[in-house]
Structure 1
Amino acid sequence: MSFAKLGLSDSILKALTDSDYQKPTEIQQKAIPLILKGEDIIASAQTGTGKTASFVLPMLELLNNGDAVRGRSIRALILVPTRELAKQVDTSIQRYGKNLNLSSLAIYGGTDIDADKEKLAKGIDILVATPGRLLDMAYQRNLFFNDLEFLVLDEADKMLDMGFIDDLNKIIDRLPSDRQSMLFSATLDGKVRYLADTVYSDAVEVKVSPKGKTPNIEQWMIAVDKDTKSALLSHLIKENDWDQALIFVEKKHSAAKLVEQLAKRGITADSIHAGRSQAQRERVWNDFKTGKLQFLVATGVAARGLDMQNLSRVINYDLPYPAEEYIHRIGRTGRAGQKGEAISLVSKDDFKNLCMIESLLNHLLERREIEEFPIRKAVPISILNYHKR
């Protein structure tokens, strides 16, 4: 199927062609026609499936055929969990809508709020926002929702994990009921299901690609003692002459510590985490994306929304919890049909998380040994997953 068969206008199709997008992904094929028909949707879609375009493209199409925006009003609202994702979504809007007379803006904490107020005063067609900054603007009466036509909750699972449920409820209570709503999440279980049931009525549910399915990514693990992890990582980088890697840790203090440990072994790295300013995070990410920086250490939350098409590999220095976060992490590599590599450094303390990840994947991670790093505390093999195999 081509994008032309999904009901998009020539102006949008030209922008897609200019971006070298030729064939819609599974989520795009399923979601775009439903949104163009005016349906509310609840979609289960993982990182790297093309979900941003699946709601941005039909919204641009519908907004382009509607009325012009009025001062301090918005026509579409996209809520996201992190500033990085807000910027990424806004960049996609501008790319896909470059041939349309529509305006967009991303607002999030850590930026000049007065500059945002000035832009909002002129009226914005599509606003991408983190919940906290949006409420700040609403409380100060710097934007209004009277003309709102569309609401998107993007990465709803992460917004709930980050404790945004009260903010989301406050925002939704302010919105007109006569709107088209869309929710995208890696999982529709638990809190996300409850949110979906309270926000959406008669929504069409869309599911793509069984969770854990990552055909373009070679996944493997190394069992390692906790106190030799940084030495092993340094060994892998040097012995394999890795060109680049995104390295995930669980806590921000772990990120800074690992950068220091790598530096002592002659490896230059930098970090992105919640303790760094927006300007610092942008500088580090741009250095990494352009190849100026080879190794980036990041916490999972900070890395949400960081999009890079040609990332060779992802390293799980710490295994994540919950298990679904593993899919988000490794989805940073192997994008757009390219091959990627995901390597996990697993100590005995990680066994519980490993079991949950392998249950999600429905297969064991391949185990490889590094002769120079014999393990003292063995990591067991999950009996449950062993029998599944």
Structure 2
Amino acid sequence: MDFSSFQFESSLQEGLDAMGFEQPTPIQEKAIPVIMQGKDLIACAQTGTGKTAAFILPVLNKISKTGTSSLNTLILAPTRELAIQIDQQIQGFAYFLGISSISIYGGGDGIVWEQQKKALETGAEIVVATPGRLIALLAGGKMDLSSLEHLILDEADRMMDMGFSDDILKIVNYLPKKRQTVLFSATMPPKIRQFSMKFLQQPEEISIAIGKTAAGVTQSMYPVYDTQKEELVKHILSQKDYEAVIIFASTKDKVKALFKTLKKHFDVEAFHSDLEQVEREKIMSAFKNKAVKILVGTDIISRGIDVVGIELVINYDTPGDPEDYVHRVGRTARADMEGEAITFVNPKDQYKFKRIEELIGMEIRKLPLPEGFESGPAYQPKSDSPSYSNKNSGKGKFTKKKAGNNSPKPKLKPRSAPENITPQPDPTPTENKASTSKFGKRRNVIDE
């Protein structure tokens, strides 16, 4: 089918034609008719599948059809980056419609806040907001939601992970009971479905190929020791003049350290939650415009960044959650383009990588380290594999081969776990935790 099958208003269809939209993606094909029928919806679709257009287009079509000029739709997003991205897409789709939108998020300077406040006062049909800032506005009586017809939650699983569940329920209490509610999530654990039942009415459910990576992504991995990672990433980046690369590290401290190393050799920027909002927007704009070619960041950019043409994704650290791998890899090979994803796997993360392969349903190619590197660890993933350490040892250290030295290198044996100590799984570092409890509420530094 093509977009004309939805019978959108002519002005909206004209905009789609001008933007070159011809055939809907699977999530768009299934979700748009349900939303146009006014039904509540739970949709499960990973990043890069076109889900944003799936909920924006039917809403724009209805507003265009009814001619309403009051606040009609509220879209909640977990991060300011995603809120800004959604707002930008709305502006693109609504170019011929005369429909306005505004993104509301915390962390900006006084100028940003004044712009947001003025937009709310003059009126906008669509508001895209992060829960933290919206709660503050509602508590201060600065928003009237009585005319609202649509509530859309994007990246619902991420909002719950960030501790927004209570804020979402508070926001729902401000809304008219008669409304359409749509929830999009990249994953659908039982807690999401249970949570959604608190404010959705007899929703339709759609699920699109969870855990599958795009067909255009070439995936590979290197078994490495941690001491080999920096030289390996420099080697990879020096093999080609890449136009757009994202490197994911597990913590912001690692991001800062890797950035400090790479900036001596490459055009690179670091992206993490310690940066001011103005800095983050400047970096993201430079990356989208190819003024910066390499971005080093945490999972904060694995969702909420929509940049076509990313050629390479490097997982400097193996993601702890297999689904995070899908989101990271989903940054490349967008819009039917091709891309490459390379993952560094140290001995203690081998079982995590095995779980990734199980989720995506394929075996990822294992590569030997390039010439000039000592041998990496053997790839022998086990659920009870010990936590190896390279501290105070030369194991895995990068060394250049001397000319004319063709003698075989001794095989490196991984250290065994100390006796009488039960090996523990490696904890995955998580930014911005406010509680030591595994299921504790996380502090939302995004909106502070």
Instruction: Report the TM-score, using the length of structure 1 for normalisation.
Output: 0.93
1:247–1:203 distance in 2 versus 1, CA, 3 Å: same
Is the Cα contact below 8 Å between 1:224 and 1:346 reproduced in 2? yes
- Paired position in structure 2 for 1:81: 78
1:3-152 equivalence runs, <5 A? 3-66=3-66, 68-70=68-70, 74-111=71-108, 112-152=112-152
* C-alpha distance in 1 between matches for 2:115 and 2:210: 43
The answer to whether the 8 A contact 1:225-1:375 is kept is no
2:272 equivalent in structure 1: 273
- How far off is 1:382 after superposition? 5.9
Shift of 1:328: 1.0
Aligned twin of 1:375: 375
Structure-2 separation of matches of 1:88 and 1:243: 21
The residue matched to 2:197 in structure 1 has which SS?
helix
* Partner-residue secondary structure (3-state), 1:199: coil
Structure 1 residue 225 corresponds to structure 2 residue 222 = no
Aligned length, in residue pairs? 379
Structure 1 stretch displaced more, 154-163 or 105-114: 105-114
Distance, in Å, in 1 between the alignment partners of 2:49 and 2:301 is 20
CA RMSD of aligned residues (A): 1.6
Deviation at 1:353, TM superposition (A): 2.0
The equivalent residue for 1:295 is 294
Give the Cα separation in 2 of the matches to 1:69 and 1:167. Answer: 27
Shift of 1:379: 3.3
Give the greater-gyration-radius structure (CA): 2
Which has the larger displacement, 171-180 or 52-61?
Answer: 171-180
Partner Cα distance (2:188, 2:154) in 1: 13
Show the counterpart of 2:336.
337
* Paired AA for residue 24 in structure 1: P
Q: 1:207 to 1:183 in 2, by over 3 A?
A: same
Aligned counterparts of 1:93 and 1:291: Cα–Cα separation in 2: 23
Who is 1:387 aligned against?
none
Q: 1:98: how far off? A: 1.2
1:289 and 1:202 map into 2 onto residues whose CA distance is 40
Task: Structure 1 unaligned segments of length 5 or more: list them.
Answer: 384-389
* Equivalence map 1:138-217=2 (5 Å): 138-217=138-217
Worse-superposed segment, 320-329 or 75-84? 320-329
Aligned equivalents of 1:313, 1:260: Cα separation in 2: 20
1:288-325 superposed Cα distances (whole Å, 9 cap, x missing partner): 22222121101111443111111111111112232211
Residues 276/33 of structure 1: CA separation in 2 closer, same or farther (3 Å cut) = same
Is the contact between residue 80 and residue 128 of structure 1 (CA under 8 Å) also seen in structure 2?
yes
Shift of 1:88: 0.9
**TM-score normalised per structure 2:** 0.81
| Separation in 2, partners of 1:159, 1:53 | 20
Asked if the contact 1:7–1:33 (Cα under 8 Å) also holds between the matched residues in 2, the reply is: no
Give 2:375's aligned amino acid: I
After superposing the two structures, state which structure 1 stretch, 341-350 or 362-371, moved more: 362-371
Does the 8 Å CA contact 1:272/1:303 hold for their aligned counterparts? Answer: no
Partner Cα separation in structure 2 for residue 244 and residue 85 of structure 1: 19
Q: Which secondary structure state, in structure 1, belongs to the residue aligned with residue 343 of structure 2?
A: strand
Distance in 2, Cα, partners of 1:192 & 1:29: 23
Q: 1:66 to 1:316 in 2, by over 3 A?
A: same
Q: Secondary structure at the match of 1:221?
A: strand
Contact 1:224 1:373 in 2 (8 A): no
Contact 2:302 2:327 in 1 (8 A): no
Q: CA deviation at 1:15?
A: 0.7
Distance 1:260 1:191, change over 3 A: same
Residues 250-280 of structure 1 show CA distances to partners (whole Å, capped at 9, x for unaligned) of 211111100111134x223111111101111
Using the alignment, how far apart are the partners of 1:50 and 1:382 within structure 2? Answer: 37
- AA aligned opposite 2:74: L
How far 1:242 sits from its partner (Å)? Answer: 3.5
Q: Which has the higher helix share?
A: 1
Give the aligned partner of residue 307 of structure 1: 306
Contact 2:47/2:303 (<8 A) preserved:
no
- Structure 2 CA distance for aligned equivalents of residues 159 and 273 of structure 1: 18
CA distance in 2, matches of 1:65, 1:79: 23
How far has the Cα of 1:42 moved from its partner? 0.5
Contact 2:213 2:330 in 1 (8 A): no
**C-alpha distance in 1, partners of 2:244/2:122?**
43
SS in 2 for 1:314: strand
User: Which structure 2 residue ranges, 5 or more long, are not aligned?
Assistant: 384-448
SS in 2 for 1:315: strand
Give secondary structure in 1 for the equivalent of 2:125.
Answer: strand
Moved more, 179-188 or 303-312: 303-312
1:351 — aligned with what? 350
- Equivalent residue, structure 2, for 1:386: none
